[in-house]
Amino acid sequence: MESEKILPVEEMVAYDEFTDRVEILRELTDWVKNIQRMAAPSTAIIAPRRMGKTVLLDRLVNTVFYQPENRVAPFYMRIKREETTLREFLLEYATTFFRQFIAYCDQDPLLYGSQIRLEQLLKHPSTHKAVTMAKEFIEDFLQQYRDEEFKDTRNQWDGFIRVPERLGSYSGIRVAVIIDEFQDMKFYIHNVDEQDLERIR
């Protein structure tokens, strides 16, 4: 039974109470499916606050996570309303992406929402070819992130936002990038060091 599955994302609405957004959910699920054949343009859900956008995205992720036949991994990021540096955000973004990608490939809902670090993901046991490929991407990311001579975080960010597409092309598992409160990235993520961030706070 659907409601007995372990959900990768905890939902705030009971499964059988989700009734008034079924058609929108169906359209978004089709959008995710179309990503595999590269026929899904970027889309946005625009509505006033408290209209249930997050609830809808939670349900979307929980639905498509259990559709491995689509070969589209849901990468779900919620933007926090907390001031942070671009460098800190980059690490969080990369960790969340790789963890969720591997969780989808292995159909492991507990891994999807865990707090595992990238170094631990490298040791995650899996026979899935896409996971093996993802680990190579993780190693490349960590090497560049730790490189003391490469401090241009903006260039690292610009490079990393293309990683889901590149990994999808190489592995055959495409990625649906789903960002909740996307607009807040402009106001809470700053390309400054920690010292300058304290002045912003």
The DSSP result for 81-113, as a single string, is: SS-EEHHHHHHHHHHHHHHHHHHHHHT-HHHHT
> Which residues touch 1 (CB under 8 Å, ≥6 apart)?
none
Q: Of 22-26, 71-75, 160-164, which range is least confident?
A: 22-26
Q: Which residues, listed in sequence order, are joined to residue 73 by a DSSP beta bridge?
A: 175
Q: Considering the domain 14-200 in this protein, what is its CATH number?
A: 3.40.50
Q: Where are the domains of the chain?
A: 14-200
pLDDT of 128 reads 98
In the predicted structure, residue 151 carries a pLDDT above the cut 90: no
Radius of gyration of the chain (CA): 17
Structure tokens at 19: 């009734």
Quick: pLDDT tens for 10-42.
Answer: 987 766 666 667 888 999 999 999 999 998 888
pTM of the model: 0.91
Q: How far is CA 141 from the centre of its chain?
A: 16
